[in-house]
Chains A and B, each alone.
Chain A
């Protein structure tokens, strides 16, 4: 499991970090992003929808995405 500490980073940086990390994990594995930008919750969910990945956890500043393709 990969965890990206993007606390203090402004959007779109957490989403860029997530996009870079996903290809480095196997299909079925997860990437967790820690992000406190107010746009992160919305934009990480939107990225998953646009890129066909699955948001499995969104809890405050902690977002976990499963690579499904």
Chain B
């Protein structure tokens, strides 16, 4: 079968927070590792040993990028799989201490699904900017029977950076390990201190999709929540997608090397979007903390505008963005993050930039947006 589909890069792609375009280093490593890493790394013959060496090199490189020990890090079949392993394995490992999961109201839905599946969870709210209510967090983690506390490193929808170090300190004082979902910040910002478990997802930083990272620090309790695996050290069941793992580790090192300059460049572009949208689109609410935020992500909501109509109009104009509005969600509910913040949820757009995003891309988006919003409002008779 010959693949003749459209190039995914056609148009202007502004949804890196969902999946960043493949980094050239990831592509190069992926192709090289496809030839070299097809064997099962658990086998003792020569090709198996070669695969084992590749896996261990990838593990060492990724661990170095995150500032952890190689034996603390494992690869999983996706970011979501890593989240499930972290939450369910973290809870299972602390069964004797308690059953309860404490989590922020703005966790990724993968964490919330684990909470619902587990059945014993308490939620801690955020302020209008999307920042964790630390006082409520202190009280929540100090309650009896808390097994694990979960806090996202920075909101994947609002961009607001969370007080992970302070939250971890509060949890530690209560003897509770902290899990942080660092999917949006790894490769872009320094890893915060204090956590016991961390996860990340390669396609958020320009690695291939289908690679999740789980770090369980030495001394943290973790027990596999899956059948047929009693390994004390976390490892995904089944053979790893070694080529993708190698590409993920290589691209993480590459994006970390670029992070300081790219962070400054993208953050300035995001700052420009925040200011210009507020100035040129009437009745708009720019969401999240204007300063303590991710460098590459901005969200805003346009009053009286249907989110789905806005997404389609921007798509027709050649821009790929995402939305937290209810009409664009599979659940037909507004984003739980926007609802927890108490900000407008309809007419919502999330723009997230990547290393391929140019100033000209942003300027074109900013030139097109006011007219797109005006047309949708006019159709509604406003």
Q: Do A and B come from one complex?
A: yes
List chain A positions with a Cβ less than 8 A from chain B. 10-12, 15-16, 19, 37-39, 42-43, 45-47, 49-50
Quick one: closest A residue to B340, CB to CB? A42
Q: Are A38 and B333 in contact (CB under 8 A)?
A: yes
B325 to chain A, nearest CB (A): 8
A19 to B344 CA separation, bound complex (whole angstroms): 14
Q: A11-B327, A16-B380, A38-B333 are in contact. Are A50 and B285 (CB under 8 A)?
A: yes
Q: Once A and B bind, how many residue pairs between them come within 8 Å at the CB atom?
A: 61
Residues on B with beta carbons closer than 8 Å to the beta carbon of A42: 334, 338-339, 342, 344-345
A49 to B343 CA separation, bound complex (whole angstroms): 9
Residues on A with beta carbons closer than 8 Å to the beta carbon of B345: 11, 39, 42-43, 46
Q: Are B327 and A45 in contact (CB under 8 A)?
A: no
Q: Are B333 and A39 in contact (CB under 8 A)?
A: yes
Secondary structure call for the A interface: helix
B378 to chain A, nearest CB (A): 12
CB<8 Å pairs between A and B, sample of 13: A11-B325, A12-B380, A15-B346, A16-B380, A16-B382, A19-B304, A19-B382, A39-B333, A39-B334, A39-B339, A43-B344, A45-B342, A46-B343
Q: Are A50 and B333 in contact (CB under 8 A)?
A: no
Residues on A with beta carbons closer than 8 Å to the beta carbon of B207: none
**Centre residue among A12, A15, A39, A43 by max chain B CB count within 10 A:** A12
Residues on A with beta carbons closer than 8 Å to the beta carbon of B327: 10-11
Nearest 10 A-B pairs (CB), nearest first?
A39-B334, A46-B344, A12-B346, A11-B346, A39-B326, A38-B333, A42-B339, A39-B345, A16-B304, A12-B304
Residues on A with beta carbons closer than 8 Å to the beta carbon of B314: none
In chain B, positions 297-324 with a C-beta closer than 8 Å to chain A are: 301, 303-306
A28 to B303 CA separation, bound complex (whole angstroms): 24
Q: Are B326 and A12 in contact (CB under 8 A)?
A: no
Q: Scan B341-356; emit 1 where CB is below 8 A from any A CB, else 0.
A: 0111111000000000
Residues on A with beta carbons closer than 8 Å to the beta carbon of B325: 11, 39
Q: Are A12 and B339 in contact (CB under 8 A)?
A: no
List chain B positions with a Cβ less than 8 A from chain A. 283, 285, 301, 303-306, 325-327, 332-334, 338-339, 342-347, 380, 382
A51 to B110 CA separation, bound complex (whole angstroms): 35
A49 to B346 CA separation, bound complex (whole angstroms): 15
A44 to chain B, nearest CB (A): 10
Q: Are A15 and B334 in contact (CB under 8 A)?
A: no
Q: Are A43 and B333 in contact (CB under 8 A)?
A: no
A46 to B339 CA separation, bound complex (whole angstroms): 10
B306 to chain A, nearest CB (A): 6
B290 to chain A, nearest CB (A): 17
Q: Are A50 and B283 in contact (CB under 8 A)?
A: yes
Quick one: closest A residue to B301, CB to CB? A46
**Centre residue among A16, A38, A39, A43 by max chain B CB count within 10 A:** A39
Q: Are B285 and A12 in contact (CB under 8 A)?
A: no
Residues on A with beta carbons closer than 8 Å to the beta carbon of B285: 46, 50
Q: Are B347 and A12 in contact (CB under 8 A)?
A: yes
The one of B334, B338, B343 that contacts A38, using a Cβ cutoff of 8 Å: B334
A10 to B304 CA separation, bound complex (whole angstroms): 11
Q: Are A47 and B332 in contact (CB under 8 A)?
A: no
The one of A19, A43, A50 that contacts B346, using a Cβ cutoff of 8 Å: A43
Residues on B with beta carbons closer than 8 Å to the beta carbon of A49: 342
Q: Are B326 and A47 in contact (CB under 8 A)?
A: no
Told that A19-B303, A38-B333 touch, could you supply 15 new A-B pairs with CB distance under 8 A? Answer: A10-B326, A11-B325, A15-B346, A16-B380, A19-B304, A39-B326, A39-B333, A39-B339, A39-B345, A42-B334, A42-B344, A43-B345, A46-B344, A46-B345, A50-B303
Quick one: closest A residue to B326, CB to CB? A39
Residues on B with beta carbons closer than 8 Å to the beta carbon of A15: 303-304, 346
